[in-house]
């Protein structure tokens, strides 16, 4: 296997593998589980009520906690899976940290702009968390705890997501050399995800500044509709 990878043909394949991995990760990320789960459970499309965001928080406004939990888990898994597959099995194919960063970012971009759903996706919080968990369980746990602490005290999901997004790259760089060794490509990917998360929350930021943002446990005006019979 090693001799084959060192041959010219093997070198060509080594250049193709990261691209194939990124495409596969993007396609997996493009599965909008908020829409898929609500359809399977006979609920209304989350893009038609509340924030109109196809994510777990908006699915929760349907009144179905089960649908929201399943959506959250699946959205996280689609970020986690491509990262851990590259980490566990990619080395014999020349897939190193650069590919880990690439597939994590690709899965995240798939959630934001899903090819299967007219490029109209969610904000990417759960998928980004899945990517972080794939990079390091400790990194994902620290970021998730940050979200939980802010959400518990302030009761704003959007604010919790924004604070967690800011701290994720800080944690990755700050703890380097203690729990893990930071890689530049992965650090860049995390920073890009954080910036995109903040950008996707621009309307939430405006509502937070105006004091009009919906708190956790409270429905937005006009949402949610009743489930279809």
pLDDT at position 9: 54
Number of domains in the chain: 1
pLDDT at position 15: 81
Contact 56, 126 (CB under 8 A): yes
Establish if 120 belongs to a structural domain: yes
Establish if 71 belongs to a structural domain: yes
Instruction: State the virtual CA torsion across 89, 22, 167, 55 in degrees, nearest 10.
Output: -110
Establish if 114 belongs to a structural domain: yes
- Which of 163, 159, 168 lies closest to 133, judged by CA? 168
| pTM of model > 0.85 | yes
Establish if 59 belongs to a structural domain: yes
pLDDT at position 155: 92
Establish if 9 belongs to a structural domain: no
pLDDT at position 218: 61
By three-state DSSP, how is residue 180 classified? strand
Establish if 6 belongs to a structural domain: no
Establish if 227 belongs to a structural domain: no
Residue listed under structure tokens 């080594």: 14
Residue 162: which domain range? 15-210
Contact 30, 114 (CB under 8 A): yes
* Residues with pLDDT less than 50, the chain: 1-4, 6, 221-222, 225, 228-229
Establish if 61 belongs to a structural domain: yes
Instruction: State the virtual CA torsion across 48, 54, 59, 60 in degrees, nearest 10.
Output: -120
**Alpha-carbon distances of 124 from 49, 200, 210, rounded to whole Å:** 18, 8, 24
């Amino acid at each position: 296997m090693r001799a084959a990878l060192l041959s010219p043909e093997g070198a060509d394949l080594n250049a193709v593998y990261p691209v194939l991995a990124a495409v596969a990760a993007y396609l997996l990320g493009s599965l909008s589980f908020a829409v898929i789960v609500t359809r399977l459970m006979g609920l209304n499309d989350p893009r038609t009520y509340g924030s109109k965001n196809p994510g777990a928080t908006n699915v929760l406004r349907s009144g179905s906690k089960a649908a929201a939990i399943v959506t959250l888990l699946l959205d996280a898994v689609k970020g986690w899976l491509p990262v851990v597959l590259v980490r566990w099995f990619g080395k014999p194919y020349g897939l190193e940290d650069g590919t880990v960063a690439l597939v994590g970012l690709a899965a995240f971009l798939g959630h934001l702009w899903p090819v299967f759903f007219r490029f109209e996706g969610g904000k990417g919080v759960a998928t980004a968390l899945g990517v972080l968990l794939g990079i390091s369980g400790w990194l994902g746990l620290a970021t998730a705890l940050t979200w939980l602490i802010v959400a518990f005290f302030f009761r704003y999901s959007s604010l919790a997501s924004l604070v967690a997004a800011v701290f994720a790259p800080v944690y990755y760089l700050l703890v380097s050399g203690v729990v893990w060794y930071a890689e530049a490509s992965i650090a860049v990917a995390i920073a890009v995800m954080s910036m995109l998360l903040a950008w996707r929350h621009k309307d939430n930021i405006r509502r937070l500044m105006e004091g009009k943002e919906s708190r956790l446990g409270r429905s937005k005006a006009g949402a949610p509709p009743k489930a279809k019979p």
